[in-house]
Structure 1
Amino acid sequence: MGTERVRTDRLGLLLDQFDCAREQARVRLTGLGDAEYLWEPVPGCWSIRRRGEATTPRAFGPGEWVLDQGAPDIPASEYAEVARQAAGGMTVAKIAEDWSVSVERVEEVLRHTGPALPDDSPVTTIAWRLAHLHFCFAGQWEWTFGERRTDPKLLVDFTPEAGPALERFWSLLDRWRDSVAALTDEQLDTVGLSQYPYGSDPDDPYAAVLWGTNLEFIHHMAEIGVLRDLWAASGAIHG
Structure 2
Amino acid sequence: MTDPITEDLVRTFDEVVDRLVARSAGLGVEEYLWEPVEGCMTVRPVAGAFRADPLGPDDPDPAPFTTIAWRMWHIGADCLRGYLRFFEGEAPDPDPLAWPGTPDAGVQALTADWARLRTRFTGLGDAGLMRPMGDLGGHFGAETYLKLGLHALDETAHHGAEIGVIRDLYRQNFGETPASTKT
TM-score (norm 2): 0.81
Counterpart CA distance in 2 for 1:224 and 1:26 is 11
Matched, 1:226 2:165: yes
User: Does residue 129 in structure 1 map to residue 71 in structure 2?
Assistant: yes
Same amino acid, percent of matched pairs: 28
1 CA distance for matches of 2:67 and 2:74? 11
SS in 2 for 1:69: coil
Conserved 8 A contact 1:129-1:220: yes
Q: Which residue of 2 aligns with 1:84?
A: none
Structure 2 partner of 1:143: 86
What residue is the counterpart of 2:17 in the other structure? 22
Partner Cα separation in structure 2 for residue 39 and residue 123 of structure 1: 11
Distance 1:216 1:181 in 2: 19
What is the distance in 2 between the residues matched to 1:196 and 1:50? 32
SS of the residue 1:141 aligns to: helix
Partner of 2:149: 210
Query: 1:235/1:196 Cα in 2 relative to 1: closer, same or farther (>3 Å)?
Result: farther
CA deviation digits over 1:45-73, x for unaligned, max 9? Answer: 00012337xxxxxxxxxx73221123327
- Say whether residues 1:184 and 2:169 are aligned partners: no
Does the 8 Å contact 1:139/1:196 carry over to 2?
A: no
Deviations 1:74-107 (A, max 9, x none): 99xxxxxxxxxxxxxxxxxxxxxxxxxxxxxxxx
C-alpha contact 1:47 1:67 (8 A) present in aligned 2: yes
Secondary structure of the 2:66 match is coil
Question: 5+ residue gaps in structure 2?
Answer: 179-183
**How far did 1:156 drift?**
5.9
SS at match of 2:162: helix
Once residues 211 and 73 of structure 1 are traced to their aligned partners in structure 2, the CA distance between those partners, rounded to angstroms, is 29
TM-score (norm 1): 0.64
What amino acid does structure 2 have at the position aligned with 1:175?
R
Structure 1 stretches of 4+ moved >6 Å = none
Compared CA separation, residues 223 and 183, structure 1 to 2 (3 A): same
Give, in angstroms, the shift of residue 214 of structure 1.
0.5
* Structure with larger RCO (C-alpha < 8 A, sep 6+): 2
1:68 to 53, 60, 78: 53
Please report how far the alpha carbon of residue 194 of structure 1 lies from its aligned counterpart in structure 2 after TM superposition. Answer: 8.0
RMSD over aligned CA atoms reads: 2.9
Q: Classify the secondary structure of the residue corresponding to 2:136.
A: coil
Letter in 2 for 1:42: V
1:172 to 90, 113, 119: 113
- Aligned-pair distance for 1:218? 0.4
Report the AA paired with residue 150 of structure 2.
Answer: W
* Bigger CA radius of gyration: 1
| Matched residue, 2:181 | none
Partner Cα distance (2:76, 2:135) in 1: 17
| SS of corresponding position for 1:30 | coil
Q: CA deviation at 1:154?
A: 1.8
